[in-house]
Chains A and B, each alone.
Chain A
Amino acid sequence: DSGVTQTPKHLITATGQRVTLRCSPRSGDLSVYWYQQSLDQGLQFLIQYYNGEERAKGNILERFSAQQFPDLHSELNLSSLELGDSALYFCASSLGRSDTQYFGPGTRLTVL
């Protein structure tokens, strides 16, 4: 158990819908990262937050957004969902920039 929690574990929804994925980092970790794992693209970095502020963006679509709250939990919002958004979404956390990233169990999103 990495100490990072993600909810929900599974999510099934329809095209055009909007969903919110939630992540609670390990106690004390200030950095939160979101990653997407799909069959065709593999693992890709989406976005990073550090102590409430957006730090870096990777391959995140404009339909996706995220935020980190004062209690350091983070949410990833996916809107206007398409079939191709079906993937495993992982959250990871680390204490600081140079520290090991600990991965949550992931949320499996299926868009029908």
Chain B
Amino acid sequence: KNEVEQSPQNLTAQEGEFITINCSYSVGISALHWLQQHPGGGIVSLFMLSSGKKKHGRLIATINIQEKHSSLHITASHPRDSAVYICAVKGDLGGGADGLTFGKGTHLIIQP
């Protein structure tokens, strides 16, 4: 069973700061997702990664398959980035199980 650990659990920063959220997992995966959940509850998929690095606007996601580790970075953070960021992995089980295993989330607050 894959364990997904995120750090930090909570993060409060000032507007404009560079933010890093980390995710580690315990067994091989076929893909890693970064999700964003706003206070209203809706979940938005930010990135799906299987190797390397992806960038979308001020968000950057990286993954190191050998070290079983991924990071989500936010540059020039803004109060609207305040949300819960969730790391989720899809196992490389080969048996057709595509459901995600989730970390507990990082609660990010960006203060003006």
Contact = CB atoms under 8 A, between A and B. Distances in A.
A43 B99 CA distance: 11
Report the interface size class on chain A.
Answer: 20 to 34
B41 A98 contact: no
B52 to A, nearest CB: 16
A97 B50 CA distance: 13
A86 interface: no
B57 interface: no
Contact of A101 (B86, B96, B100, B104): B100
Contacts of B45: 2, 100-103
A56 B97 contact: yes
B98 interface: yes
Contact size range, B: 20 to 34
A56 B43 contact: no
Contacts of B48: 99-100
Given A42-B104, A98-B30, A101-B33, A33 B41 contact: no
Interface in A63-112: 88, 90, 94, 97-103, 105-106, 108
B98 A103 contact: no
Contacts of A106: 41-43
Contacts, number: 61
B31 interface: yes
B102 A2 contact: no
Interface of B: 30-31, 33, 35, 41-45, 48, 86, 88, 95-102, 104-105
Given A2-B45, A100-B48, 14 more contacts: A35-B100, A45-B100, A47-B99, A48-B99, A88-B41, A90-B43, A94-B98, A98-B31, A99-B48, A103-B35, A103-B42, A105-B41, A105-B42, A106-B42
26 contacts: A2-B45, A33-B98, A33-B100, A35-B100, A42-B105, A43-B88, A43-B102, A45-B100, A45-B101, A48-B97, A50-B96, A55-B96, A55-B97, A56-B95, A56-B96, A56-B97, A56-B99, A58-B97, A97-B96, A100-B45, A101-B33, A102-B45, A103-B35, A103-B45, A106-B42, A106-B43
